[in-house]
Structure 1
Amino acid sequence: MEKTTLTGRIVRRDDPDYNEARTNINLSLQRYPDIIVFCQNKHDAVNALKWARENNVPFRIRGGRHSYENFSLLNNGLVIDLSEMKKIRVDKDKRLVSIEAGAELGDVYRTLWRYGLTLPAGTIANVGITGLTLGGGIGYLTRSAGLTCDRLLQLEMIIADEKEGAKLITVNRAKHSDLFWASQGGGGGNFGIVTSMMFKAVPISYVTVFSVTWDWDDFDEVFNTWQNWAPFTDNRLTSSIQFWPKEVNRIEALGQFIGTKDELKELLAPLMKAGNPTSGMVKTVPFIRAAAFFNSPGGNEPQKMKRSGSFIEKPLSTRAISALKYYLQHAPNKNASVWQQSLGGAAGRIAPDQTAFYYRNAIIAQEYITNWTSPEEERQNVRWIEGLRTSLSRETMGDYVNWPDIDIRNWLRTYYGGNVDRLRQVKTKYDPENVFRFEQSIPPLRRSPFF
């Protein structure tokens, strides 16, 4: 049999753009692959997988470079990078959108906006749409239109094939329905290489956004008010709240409403009565301006960082709120924070086993965030995140697979809850030899989850 040759834009260690080519979002976890193949089309990706298997070279799949634990990188080996495959095709009448695997969220929003359409998705403009979708996909349309993966209709995926080395298949509710189920929240890189996706878009025009801020002194009242209000208010309203350390003296709630300014002001009344807001804004804007408003500049640039998270099924007790407050009073730096987003609504109308995204009954997604500049600060920051996570674990559950945390021991159950066994069955069927693997990848049934 003729040997496979790598195709696409190939970057090696001695190339001048190697450092830029290998850099991911998390600078505290440096990895040095031997070769990075920037696929220009699906055939380049097929060739890369075949080549890796023929030469027994370990590999990783990479899209938007936003894997918080740099699971899309490795030392030595090959990185199969899809970021230069960015075509987006729209059928306005059918509201269908086909997106190649390397497209970034900002480009997706801008392209769809020209047709008066969008997808319920995230906030960071340069995050990859593929990884976002495969892990679930939450954002400021979650309560009105569901998760990103809920709008998914079809994928093109390259799977490992024992005869040919690699095979391109179409995955939807009719073909390979079990793999389609697993692709709605089962995480990226577990089953194959996604080369494109098709979604059912939602119509969008103007939305109303809000921002409210408070000082630290209002912490308890604001926390309790928001958590008992945000997940239970009108489903057209999705909101977030972020708590910074005491020294920063800032709490901020943001949100997006599919409706008028007057309607939103009425819905906001309970929140505005909490504490003494230091500022407030309610404004009706084109959806694309709202997307720019929510785009977090801090989330776009590579940095030394640690993240983790959890889900909340019922409002936290005063004990848990005090614990969270204590950790923010003893934060390692001013960049540390806790961020929460309201869930429920459309996302909560789907059963936990209907897609691989298990945490449908959660009312809040909660992210623990910190970043730092000098290497000496790393240990303190990581310990802060793990301490915070542990202190809240009695009243929280799981973690969002798109906020991976290498320090979680029982990570399989943590990310996938009651869907673990079914996901491992799908893995066993489509990748029995565990060709697609990384530090926290789903293992086939015959292998230990801690290989």
Structure 2
Amino acid sequence: MNDFLCGLTGDIVTPFDPVYSEAKQGFNRAIQLFPLIIVYCSDERDVSNAVIWSRRNGVPIRIRSGGHNYEGYSNGNCTLVIDISRMNYMYIDECLNQLSVQGGVTNRQVYNFVSSKGYPFPGGTCPTVGVSGYSLGGGWGLSCRNFGLGCDSLEEIVLVNYEGAIIKANRENHCDLFWACRGAGGGNFGVIVSMTFNLPPKVENVTLIEIDYLNVDSQEQAEFLDTWQEWLKTADKRITLISRIYNSAEDGLAMLVRGIFYGEAEAAKQIMAEFLALDGADYNIESMTFLEAVTIIGSVYPPSEKFQSVSRFVFRDFTCVERAKLAGLIRERPQGSVFAGISMYALGGRVSEIGTDDTAFYYRHANYIIWLETIWEESIYAEENRKWTSNRFPYLKAITTGSYVNFPYGRLPDYLKEYYGIHANILKNIKKIYDPLNIFSFPQGIGKSACSNHAALYCPTLPLDKTEGPIDQSGDIRHRGFRYVSKR
């Protein structure tokens, strides 16, 4: 086994390691996969060595930063997981108003860092999401109507390619790769080790918007959907909202609105008048720092969940009948579900001002993203909840167009077309140039997913959630004749 691991650098975890059970977990605990090796990389050299090692040994690669891929594509059975979460150095060039970060930084880390200098950042809502995966998939966040998607601020990326070499891509060098990496999702072309973003102008305060509606019925939820789509037509681009109709074990049928406005609280109240006029609106609209606002919004996210979800893009108004049917989708939760909801993520503004073909993100002119989700706590209800989602998906698909690659759904029949529209063929050609051997593959990758028989020779009987073999006093671990030093 020592010979097998020769060439890997960084901190290594295998199924024999006592921390393996936790180390293999992603955010969505409904998906349990068992990688052969997890290597925690600290620098570009570790990443390059991991890529070279995987090719020499025929072990498929998965790339993990925040571990939030909803379908678990940053993990896989009998794979080498290249984890870059420890690569989180950041630097601001205030002369250029640019932020440089390593590939493993999270939303929370970026927010804390840029806010210390007075900047906001067009990142995501969940604090533990990796910024690299977030921005490469497009990057919807509560600043996007004002500043654009996360990928729109990208000025340069540095990645490790299929040969283990470093490639720098921007508008002048490898511009086709740079184009593809702004919207085509993470993990397709290499391992992102650093990124440079243009920063927005500094701000003193923003306005946090929170509105809740409890004890509602399905008709009120349908009317709320109408208010949402009418409001969005003329909304000030300085404001970006999430709205949601839901059915939870705690609240029953309910609705909410969350958002950030780059302006004063009194102006925000006027802009939100249509929502505040709805019956039962309980609201907080308050001026605060950008960091305070994103921290409050991010505080509702748990460290992990068990869920199934599907996303779509909405390009037109829903009719009265369609709105009623949408509300009806969540009137009954599946068995074991503690939460079922439909969320809407506002687009428009700066997002739609950028040309459809300027980046790989195809759905520039959608009105919003719609997202159907169910959450459960006990694993015995997983299949019931997945069936609930798949039974509702055909109706949602019939009235929408395309899916958001950062909110993936594993049962899409033609996922390349759904995620990338007519950009799919261009992306396949770029994939052939920069990853001709399809080293970077996963179940919904741009290239077909690789399956290695070689890897199976080394894959242990799974699941294995306990240590086998003695641990000596120095912290060295010996398993079945192989020895390495655990740095975890």
TM over 0.5, yes or no? Answer: yes
Aligned match of 2:433: 429
In the other structure, the counterpart of 1:414 is 418
Q: Does 1:287 align with 2:285?
A: no
The answer (yes or no) to whether the contact 1:64–1:126 under 8 Å persists in 2 is yes
Structure 1 residue 358 corresponds to structure 2 residue 356? no
Q: Which residue does 1:167 correspond to in 2? A: 165
Displacement of 1:230: 2.7
In structure 1, stretches of 5+ residues that fail to align are 445-451
Once the two structures are superposed, the pairs formed by residues 191-230 of structure 1 within 5 Å of their partners are 191-202=189-200, 203-214=202-213, 215-217=215-217, 218-230=220-232
Q: Tell me which residue corresponds to 2:137.
A: 135
Deviations 1:186-226 (A, max 9, x none): 10100111101000011232001212222423222221011
**Equivalent residue of 1:186, what SS?**
coil
Deviations 1:130-186 (A, max 9, x none): 00011011111111000000000001111113xxxx211111010000000000001
Q: Which has the higher mean CA deviation after the structures are superposed, 364-373 or 126-135?
A: 364-373
8 Å CA contact 2:206–2:260 kept in 1: the answer is yes
CA distance in 1, matches of 2:139, 2:348: 14
How far 1:249 sits from its partner (Å)? Answer: 2.6
Q: CA deviation at 1:417?
A: 0.9
Q: CA deviation at 1:231?
A: 4.8
For 1:204, give the aligned amino acid: V
RMSD (CA atoms):
1.5
Between the aligned partners of 1:344 and 1:56, the Cα distance in structure 2 is 44
> Are the counterparts in 2 of residues 323 and 392 from structure 1 also a CA contact under 8 Å?
no
2:98–2:198 Cα contact (<8 Å) kept = yes
Unpaired runs of 5+ residues, structure 2, are: 449-488
Separation of aligned partners in 2, 1:393 and 1:52: 38
CA drift at 1:296? 5.1
Structure 1 CA distance, aligned partners of 2:197 and 2:167?
Answer: 17
CA distance in 1, matches of 2:229, 2:179: 31
Rounded to whole Å, the distance in 2 between the matches of 1:325 and 1:393 is 15
AA paired with 1:399?
Answer: S
**Residue 396 of structure 2 aligns with which residue?**
392
Larger Rg: 2
Q: Report if aligned partners of 2:222, 2:326 keep a CA contact under 8 Å in 1.
A: no
Contact kept, 8 Å, 1:100 with 1:197, in 2: the verdict is yes
CA distance in 2: counterparts of 1:375 and 1:287, whole angstroms: 38
Matched, 1:301 2:303: yes
SS in 1 for 2:258: strand
Change (3 A) 1:296 1:327: farther
| TM-score after normalising by structure 2 | 0.87
Alignment equivalent of 1:317, drawn from 316, 319, 323: 319
Counterparts of 1:381 and 1:175 in 2: how far apart (Å)? 46
Whether contact under 8 Å (1:342, 1:364) holds in the other structure is: yes
Count of aligned residue pairs for this structure pair: 436
1:107 to 106, 109, 112: 109
- The letter of the residue matching 2:409 is D
1:86 is displaced (CA, Å) by: 0.6
Residue type at the aligned position of 2:116: R
* CA-CA distance at 1:292 after TM superposition: 0.9
The one-letter amino acid of 1:324's match is L
Q: Which residue of 1 aligns with 2:36?
A: 34
Matched residue type, 2:12:
I
Distance in 2 (alpha carbons) for counterparts of 1:302 and 1:286: 27
Deviation of the 1:318 alpha carbon: 1.6
Three-state SS of the structure 2 residue aligned to 1:230 is: helix
Q: Is the 8 A contact 1:308 1:403 kept in 2?
A: yes
- Determine helix, strand or coil for the equivalent of 1:306: strand
Deviation at 1:397, TM superposition (A): 1.0
The 3-state SS of whatever aligns with 1:305 is strand
The structure showing larger relative contact order (alpha-carbon pairs under 8 Å, at least 6 residues apart) is: 2
* 3-state SS of 1:277 partner: coil
Indicate conservation of the 8 Å contact 2:310/2:373, yes or no.
yes
**Contact 1:95/1:117, CA 8 A, preserved across alignment:** no
Task: Give a deviation string over 1:14-34, Cα, whole Å, max 9, x none.
Answer: 111111211111222211112
**Is the Cα contact below 8 Å between 1:85 and 1:100 reproduced in 2?**
yes
Helix, strand or coil at the partner of 2:161: strand
Q: Which residue of 2 aligns with 1:176?
A: 174
TM alignment of 1:69-80, pairs within 5 A: 69-80=71-82
Q: Which residue number in structure 1 is paired with residue 187 of structure 2?
A: 189
Which of 358, 378, 383 is 1:374 aligned to?
A: 378
Contact 1:26 1:305 in 2 (8 A): yes
Give, in whole Å, the separation in 2 of the partners of 1:231 and 1:183. Answer: 30
Runs of 4+ residues over 3 Å off in structure 1 = none
Distance in structure 2 (CA, Å) of the matches to 1:392 and 1:56: 40
Partner of 1:248: 252
Shift, 1:368, TM fit: 1.3
Output the CA distance in 2 between the equivalents of 1:140 and 1:244: 20
- 2:33–2:77 CA contact under 8 A, matched in 1: yes
Identity %: 33
Deviation at residue 4 of structure 1 after TM alignment = 6.2
